Amino acid sequence: MTVRVGVIGGGQLARMMIAPAVELGIELRVLAEGEGMSAQLAATAIGDYRDLEIVREFVRGVDVVTFDHEHVPQEIMRALVADGVQVHPGPDALQYAQDKIVMRARLAELGVPQPDWAAVQNADQLQAFIDDHGGGAVVKTPRGGYDGKGVRVVRAGTDAADWLAELAEGDALLVEELVSFTRELAQQIARRPNGDMIAYPVVETMQRDGVCAEVIAPAPATSGRLVQVAEQIGCQIAAGVGVTGMLAVELFETDDERILVNELAMRPHNSGHWSQDGSVTGQFEQHLRAVADLPLGRTEPRSPWTVMVNILGGPLDGALEDRFAQAMAEYPEAKIHTYGKAPRPGRKVGHVNVTGDVLDDVVYVARAAAAHFD
C-alpha cells in the first residue's frame, strides 16, 4: 500500500518534498496555513496547526506525520502520539529544536562541543556573563527565532532589557559567548525510526544579515579530521536526541580549530538545498525515506563541487518569471528552484544550484544566475 506522509506546514520545504514523493510513489498530504502556499499542489487541508482538532482531522488520512517547520506546539504533538500517530521527528526530539536552552542543556549532557552559555533571567545575570566572556555576548530568545530573528549581540546587561521585560515567570533568555569563528559549517544527518543513520558531507555556509546566502558542498579546504569530527558530532546529536528524518547541525569553525555547535534544525534545511542537484540523494527525498522508515539513500556528492545561492525577493513587481527566463537563458547549466511565493524584500523565493569541477567557476555561475533576481 502506498505510504501516505502528512506534512504540517505548506512552505517551501513541504513544496520541495513533492518532487521526490512523486518519484518514490509516496502520497504527500500537506496541512497548509492558507490558500496559495508554496506547497499548494499537495495541500489537502487548510487550517491552523495550533488547533488540535484541525490537526487530528488532517492526520486521520496519513500513515506518518512530519513538518515543514518546527513551530507545532509540544502539546499538539504529544496528543497525536497519544492517539497512536507516527510523528517524525517526535516531540521528545523536536523540543531540542524548539527551545535553544533545552538544546544547550542536552548538548552539555551529551558532551558535544559548544559555546559557553547560560540561561539568564535578568540584566545582572547577563552582565555577569558578559564580564566573564570578554565584554560581549550573543543573546537569543530560546523559542521562535529564525533567519537571524531573536538573536542580538550585546555589550551590556541592559542591552536586552526589552526581551527580559517580556519574559514570562520562570522563563529565561539564552546567552552565549561571542565565538571568534573563521567560518560556518553545516552537518546533515538522516536518521530512521529504527536508528539507521547516514551523514551528508559537511558543507560551508555563508550568512548575510542572519540569513543563509550561499552554501558550498563539500566544505572547501577541509581536513579529513574535520570532516570526521563534524560527522561524529552530527551522529552523536542525532542519536542523542533521537531525531527521525533530517537533522541539520550548524557549526562554527573557530580560530583555534575547534568545532562548536551553533544551532539545530530537525527538518530539511537551507544548508542542504545543494543536495537536490549535488548529491545522489537529495535531502527532501532522504527526509521522506527516513520518516516513512524506508531505507536511506547514498549521500555522496555527484560532482566535485555544488554551490547553492539563495534568491531573495527584492524591489521587484510581478516580473519574477522574466528574471527566471533571463537567468535560464544566460546560465543553461544552472538549476533554478522556485518557491511559488510573492517576492517581498528579503523573503526567500527560490535558490540556484550549480555543479561542476572547478570551484571558482561554479561559484561564479551560481552567483551570476542568482544576481538576475537582485
Task: State the binding site for ATP.
Answer: 100, 140, 176-179, 184, 262-263
Residues of span 21-40 touching a second copy by CB under 8 A: 22-25
Minimum CB distance to a second copy, residue 304 (Å): 12
Binding of residue 371 to a second copy (CB under 8 A): no
Minimum CB distance to a second copy, residue 205 (Å): 22
Binding of residue 336 to a second copy (CB under 8 A): yes
Residues 266-305: x where in contact with a second copy by CB under 8 A, - otherwise, as a string: ----------x---xx-------x----xxxxx---xx--
Binding of residue 19 to a second copy (CB under 8 A): yes
Number of neighbouring beta carbons within 10 Å of residue 233: 24
Torsion of CA 308, 313, 316, 322, to 10 degrees: 40
The per-residue DSSP string of 151-178 comes to EEEESSGGGGHHHHHTPPTT--EEEEE-
Which pairs count as long-range contacts for 280-284, CB under 8 Å and 24+ apart, including other chains? 282/20, 283/188, 283/190, 283/200, 283/246, 284/13, 284/16, 284/17, 284/19, 284/20
Instruction: Give dist(CA 241, CA 204) in Å, integer.
Output: 24
Strands 27-32 and 43-46: parallel
Choose, by CB under 8 A, the member of 51, 57, 132, 333 that binds a second copy: 333
Binding of residue 308 to a second copy (CB under 8 A): no
CA 205-9-287 angle, to 5 degrees, is 55
Report the residue number, 25 or 170, with the smaller CB distance to a second copy.
25
Please work out the total of residues on this chain that contact a second copy, with binding judged by CB under 8 A: 41
Choose, by CB under 8 A, the member of 355, 362, 365, 369 that binds a second copy: 355
Whose grid coordinates read 531573536? 150
Binding of residue 193 to a second copy (CB under 8 A): no
Report the residue number, 123 or 328, with the smaller CB distance to a second copy.
328
User: What is the 3-state secondary structure of 45-96?
Assistant: EECCCCCHHHHHHHHCCCCEEEECCCCCCHHHHHHHHHCCCCECCCHHHHHH
Choose, by CB under 8 A, the member of 4, 15, 348, 372 that binds a second copy: 15
- The residues that touch a second copy, with contacts defined as CB under 8 A, are 1-3, 15-16, 18-20, 22-25, 41-42, 276, 280-281, 289, 294-298, 302-303, 318, 321, 324-325, 328-329, 332-333, 335-340, 350, 355
